[in-house]
Structure 1
Amino acid sequence: MNQRNVEDKRHLRSLKTRSKLLEAAKEVFLQEGFHKATIKQMINKAGIGYGTAYVHFEGKEDLLIVLMEDVMERFFEIAEISFLPKSKQEAEEIINKQANAFLKTAEAERDMMQVFEQAIGVSSIVSDKWKVIRGKFIQRISKDVAYAQQNGLARSGINHEIVARGWFFTNEMYLWEIVRDEHHGSVEEIAATITSVYVTGLYI
């Protein structure tokens, strides 16, 4: 067997170990919550050695961040929906569709999002990661607002990044309300209402 094959097999085994540990971590986090979950429980559930586990992750926060990135990628796919409206009405339809899908994903991912919220509240590492994720969304929304301004659909005299931050924070507030099951009204009603207020304020 040549060196390349040996390296390929080693890499594959490493990926399988990492995947097994992440799957075990997800189960432990869902069962125990962030506070009570320990990396020892995750390693035992995955059935791998301690030394092997620490090659991949330094601790439970590292594992949670990878799980968070994976879940938030589903949210980001919604933000990445093509945004090239030709009219205010078309813009409102796209934005409403995005807000609805974003909040529906929060509902679908409620259990894991509850773990993320716990972690954001107590871990500076996870909190910093959430700020990076938030920044990525704001950047994307800012680009869409700038497009609408450049094409004469939205008010041009306002800072598109501040607008983007306001829109994301509105969605984020409702995201956490849905995760805590504290929301008033259906997801569809929330999405339609916040979209209407946002579009009315921004678009001309």
Structure 2
Amino acid sequence: MENTKPLTDGRHLRSQQTRQKLLEAAKEVFREEGFHKTTISQIIKRAKTGYGTAYVHFTGKDDLLIVLMEDVMASFYAIAERPFAPVSRAEAEQLIFRQTLAFLRLAESERKMLQVLAEAIGVSVSAQEKWAEIRERFISRISQDITFSQSQGLARSGLVPELVARGWFYSHEMYLWDIVSSDQHADLETIAKTLTAIYTGGLYV
């Protein structure tokens, strides 16, 4: 009985290590081959593990991508969930500009993995559903910030927070994909300033 816990802990550690090896291998292969050309066999070979072991952790390449998507988006969530409690319109504009610029810069730094994601969204139902879930999480957070600003008398009270939040996120989403496809037509700071001016000009009083 004394050895049960150490043995269990050892198995758990090896299981976690195998899972991480599969994720790292998947990230490498996805970045090299793209979503469509990547196969689960390539990932398993790169991870140097067996098929049976791999399928204990993941059902296929779609499942692996979903977990990698969550890892990438965690950094974007951290930006969206920064404290937001402005006491003036000027402070709100400054906070919003900083968030927007950080979001765009992160999209640029994560371009390769986001290219894989964009390709997957076009062909994978699970990737489409995951992106829809991601979008709603951002919109919910933005809505909270708008509601706060309205409660402080900084933003127009007659506007529906969720509708405004959707428009704000969709503009970010459009530029995110432009950055991913290297199709943006201005530097990131100019884009962030423009988005912030349009958004705060329509929302704040």
**TM-score normalised per structure 2:** 0.99
**Where in structure 2 are the equivalents of 1:147-186 lying within 5 Å?**
147-186=148-187
In structure 2, how many angstroms separate the alpha carbons of the residues matched to 1:15 and 1:192?
43
Show the counterpart of 2:83.
Answer: 82
What number of residue pairs does the alignment pair up? 204
Show the counterpart of 1:125.
Answer: 126
Show the counterpart of 1:54.
Answer: 55
In structure 1, how many angstroms separate the alpha carbons of the residues matched to 2:67 and 2:89?
38
**Where in structure 2 are the equivalents of 1:1-204 lying within 5 Å?**
2-204=3-205
In structure 2, how many angstroms separate the alpha carbons of the residues matched to 1:118 and 1:140?
26
Deviation at 1:16, TM superposition (A): 0.2
Secondary structure in 1 matching 2:159: coil
Deviation at 1:41, TM superposition (A): 0.2
In structure 2, how many angstroms separate the alpha carbons of the residues matched to 1:89 and 1:10?
55
Secondary structure in 2 matching 1:61: helix
Deviation at 1:51, TM superposition (A): 0.2
Identity %: 58
Q: Could you say what the CA RMSD is over the residues aligned between the two structures, in angstroms?
A: 0.6
In structure 1, how many angstroms separate the alpha carbons of the residues matched to 2:203 and 2:160?
11
Secondary structure in 2 matching 1:131: helix
Secondary structure in 2 matching 1:154: coil
Deviation at 1:5, TM superposition (A): 1.0
Amino acid at match of 1:53: A
In structure 2, how many angstroms separate the alpha carbons of the residues matched to 1:10 and 1:192?
52
Secondary structure in 2 matching 1:181: coil
In structure 1, how many angstroms separate the alpha carbons of the residues matched to 2:39 and 2:160?
44
Amino acid at match of 1:138: I
Secondary structure in 2 matching 1:81: coil
Amino acid at match of 2:93: E
In structure 2, how many angstroms separate the alpha carbons of the residues matched to 1:144 and 1:3?
50
**TM-score normalised per structure 1:** 0.99
Secondary structure in 2 matching 1:82: coil
Deviation at 1:2, TM superposition (A): 1.6
In structure 1, how many angstroms separate the alpha carbons of the residues matched to 2:13 and 2:197?
49
Runs ≥4 residues deviating over 6 A: none
Secondary structure in 2 matching 1:86: coil
Secondary structure in 1 matching 2:153: coil
Secondary structure in 2 matching 1:136: helix
